[in-house]
Each structure stands twice: as C-alpha cells, then as structure tokens.
Amino acid sequence: MDETPVNFVFLQGKVLANVGDQVTAHLPNDFKQSFTAICTISLDCKLFPTIFLATGKTDLCHRQFDGIETRYPYKIMHSGGNTSTDVMLDYLELLHDWANKEPCALLIDQYRSHITSPVVAKASKLNIGLIYVPKSGTDKYQPLDRRVFGAVKAKYAMKVADRIFENSTPISKPEAASCFIRAWNTVSLATLITAWRIPGSNLENFDQETLGAQAEESDDENSSSDGEFEEDEEPYSDNEDDDDDYHQ
C-alpha cells in the first residue's frame, strides 16, 4: 500500500509588472490542486479498489467526489488531506476484508500515521504483519513507487488531456478521480510483476510465469468484483505501453 497525490488543476499563472519592479504574485487559489489516492496491490498481482481522501472532518465532505463515473469499484475516506491515524485504522479493517479475514502482511513506508501505536495495535489484532520499508528506500523497496505509480500517472495524464481536449473546459475533482480509476485499473500485468522484483529480496528471482498464471487465474475468478486487468471500455483513449514518494 502507498499514497500518491493526484494533480488535476494546472493553471498557467502570470504576473505583469514593469521590468525591475518587485511585486507580489496574486495567483488563483487553485493554481495547483490535488487530492490523495491510496493504492494497494498484492503479491499475486491483484489490483484493489482505489481509496480517495476527501478533505474534511465528516462524511459530508465525501460529496467532493460526487459525479465519479466508472464501472470500477472505489472507496472514499476523509482526513485533513493526508493519511491520518483514523484513515489507517479504517484501511486496516478494509485490508482485513480483502484478505478474507486471513493473516496477511502489509508492506508500507514509515510515514508518521503508519507507525502510531493505535495502528500497530490494530494490525496485531487483525493478524496483519506490518513490514516497514527503510526510510529513503521507497524507490527501491516499495513496489508501487518502483514501477506502478509511474505507469499509472502516465496513463492518467493522457486521459486527462483527452478529456480537456474533447470538452475544452477545466477538469473537476470527480472527473479527475474517474480518469485515475481508469488508469489504475488498466495497469499491465507485466508492470505488476516487475514491481515485485525487489533487489536483494527473495522476490528478485520470483518465477514470473508462475506469478502471472496465478494473477490471471485470480482475475478470471474475481473480474466481476475487482476489475483487475480488464480492458478500458470507457470513452477515453488508452495507451497500453508502460513506460514519487509522496507525503506532505
């Protein structure tokens, strides 16, 4: 599991002034806006529903994402913007369900909300082993950072560009979330397999063919609920070619 920012407003702000003058730049509040997406993959190459973080203190703020259009499942939680301890506690419950309430392990970085006492205690109660990525090592040891997020962001950027080109209007948060969901759910199996080949681990020489067969079998059994590895049937173009550590 890991978090990533999803940018959806890029206004080209400019300030006019006489040469040599020192002025204060008054740029729009939405000069650059983003929201947080929490993403999860498993060793057998399953993609789990994206979780979006709404900014606010109650479920009412979930309305920020009203209007998402997608056939893929997703979840919405809320916090001050980044992943909080409460979000992590809810996530662990969700992960427990995804694992069919069986013991499992979670590979995560050492962001402050990931290492709090309540989170560690909750994980222990649910038989979830927490495996922490070494600090400053996410680019090498975190599968999502190693390979997946780069591919997702490239697909997402193309889908956003297509949307803006077709409508010639700014993109909204729900529309951006819809584009991200489609990008997430069309990540290739090859990308997921490569992401898990972590240098120095016993996964580095993992049997890719066996892993791929497991993933495809799992996909056949669960495609109706999870949608992993399905073709993108939404009305946006998709480039299947593949080819940030985030915490504010």
Q: What is the pLDDT along the chain (248 residues), one digit of tens a residue?
A: 999 999 887 555 566 677 877 766 655 554 468 899 999 999 989 999 999 999 999 999 999 999 999 999 999 999 987 899 999 999 999 999 999 999 999 999 999 999 999 999 999 999 999 999 998 888 899 999 999 999 999 999 999 989 888 887 888 999 999 999 999 999 999 999 999 988 877 766 655 555 555 555 544 444 433 433 344 444 333 333 333 333 33
What pLDDT does 244 receive? 38
What pLDDT does 221 receive? 43
Q: What is the pTM of this model?
A: 0.77
209 alpha carbon, distance to own chain's centre: 26
What pLDDT does 240 receive? 37
What pLDDT does 241 receive? 38
What ranges in the chain are assigned the alpha helix state H?
Answer: 85-98, 117-125, 138-141, 143, 149-167, 173-184, 189-195, 208-226
Q: Where are the domains of the chain?
A: 34-213
What pLDDT does 33 receive? 81
As a whole number of angstroms, the distance between CA 98 and CA 111 comes to 23
As a whole number of angstroms, the distance between CA 233 and CA 223 comes to 14
* Sheet of 74-79, strand order: 2-10, 32-39, 50-55, 74-79
Domain 34-213 has CATH 3.30.420: yes
